[in-house]
Amino acid sequence: MAFNEDYLDLAQAKLGGKVLFATDDFFAEKENLIQPGRGIFIPDKYTERGKWMDGWESRRKRVSGHDWAVLKLATPGCVHGFDIDTNHFLGNHPPHASVEALKTDKNLDALSQEEFDALPWNEILPKSPLDPGSQHLYACDNHEVYTHIRLHIYPDGGVARFRVYGEVAKDWQQIDSSEEIDLAAAINGAKAITCNDMFFSSKDNLIMPGKGVNMGDGWETKRNRTPGNRDWIIIRLAHPGKVDRVLVDTHHFKGNYPDCCSLEFCSAENDKDVLEGNVDWREALSKQKLSAHAEHVFEKELTDNEVVTHARLFIYPDGGVSRLRLFGKIVHI
């Protein structure tokens, strides 16, 4: 179950997910659940409450009941699976967990425990076993659209990270065809489906919201020694549309930015045809010079005004790009 490859983590903080509430986070803060990575362990680090842990950890429960936490997804979405990761929690992991979900347009950010408990939650993962120090990948067969998730742990303990993998469920009928939108934004449903290299940092970073926070928060390839090399990445756009403006941001990449970039578009019915090369790529942006730690906007240089479903960014010969934005207007087809 390669949820991390096939789907987007809808709960991740980088995308805009939030942990709204936890019944208890005495030892380690609930916000850690949706941070990047699997969590780290520092043997001799302690706080006034005990051992410092990079995850969500409740105290040992001495009364009946169990602990739970509520997450707000970055965007409404269809959930396909979970990763409940107990990394570094060895003698203090929960033996079991379950997951509930709901969809609402209401603001739930400041509810009390009783108010959260009274909401019409729908169980989408039954009580399931957890092992110490392990990732637990569970599929979700309920693919309705949800906005909030509740993670239950039984009875208490620590979870390093919680991933909610799925697909963005954007109501495109509510988007005016004259409105400019970033067709390459993950928050809108775009996906980096493949690339030829991501040795230093993930392809998925390229279409995340906001500015990159450091050099690791971008797409960076290894140094290539092959003459004439070019590295590439393919993005499935959030919706078919026409691209009017391109932004290539090399923020934080100073001694390792690409010398040049170019861009191709295609129109395809599915990712499979793109991945297998059964499409006709069209040059949309000829080779353009890039500079270090800068935003590069290309508008008049664009040569393709056809409907686009996928984009392929080339960088010459290698290096790092922080963000790619493809601004345009959707086309209903």
What is the pTM for the complete model shown? 0.94
Residue 47 and residue 185 in one domain: no
Residue 149 and residue 196 in one domain: no
Could you tell me the residue range of the domain that residue 19 belongs to?
A: 3-168
User: What is the reported pLDDT for 1?
Assistant: 55
Please identify, among 136, 168, 200, the residue that sits at the C-terminal boundary of a domain. 168
- DSSP reduced 3-state for 240: strand
Please identify, among 138, 168, 198, the residue that sits at the C-terminal boundary of a domain. 168
The two three-digit tokens of residue 229, written as one number: 């090399």
What is the secondary structure of 6-45 as a DSSP string?
Answer: HSEETT-GGGT-EEEEES--SSB-GGGGGSSSS----TT-
Stated as kind and residue range, the H or E segment containing 116 is helix 113-117
Residue 115 and residue 182 in one domain: no
DSSP 8-state code for residue 111: -
Residue 20 and residue 161 in one domain: yes
Residue 137 and residue 199 in one domain: no
Residue 180 and residue 163 in one domain: no
β-strand partners of 261: 288, 315
User: What is the reported pLDDT for 177?
Assistant: 87
Residue 12 and residue 155 in one domain: yes
Residue 7 and residue 105 in one domain: yes
> 245-290, pLDDT tens digit by residue?
999 999 999 999 999 999 999 999 999 999 999 999 999 999 999 9
**Domains: count for the chain:** 2
From the CB of residue 318, how many other CB atoms can be counted at a distance below 10 Å?
A: 21
The reply to whether omega before 240 is within 30° of 0 (cis) is no
Residue 183 and residue 274 in one domain: yes
Amino acid identity, residue 227? Answer: P
pLDDT tens for the chain, 333 residues: list them.
Answer: 566 678 999 999 999 999 999 999 999 999 999 999 999 999 999 999 999 999 999 999 999 999 999 999 999 999 999 999 999 999 999 999 999 999 999 999 999 999 999 999 999 999 999 999 999 999 999 989 999 999 999 999 999 999 999 999 999 988 888 999 999 999 999 999 999 999 999 999 999 999 999 999 999 999 999 999 999 999 999 999 999 999 999 999 999 999 999 999 999 999 999 999 999 999 999 999 999 999 999 999 999 999 999 999 999 999 999 999 999 999 987
How far apart are the C-alpha atoms of 128 and 124, rounded to whole Å?
Answer: 11
CATH for 43 = 2.60.120.260
Residue 298 and residue 180 in one domain: yes
User: What is the reported pLDDT for 108?
Assistant: 97
Burial of 47 (0-12, 13-18, 19+ CB in 10 A): exposed
Residue 48 and residue 188 in one domain: no
HEC secondary structure over 118-170: CCCCEEEEEEEECCCCCEEEEECCCCCEEEEEEEEEECCCEECEEEEEEEECC
Q: What angle do CA 103, 109, 115 make, to 5 degrees?
A: 75
Residue 18 and residue 80 in one domain: yes
How far apart are the C-alpha atoms of 257 and 293, rounded to whole Å?
Answer: 8
The two three-digit tokens of residue 298, written as one number: 């290309």
Please identify, among 108, 138, 168, the residue that sits at the C-terminal boundary of a domain. 168
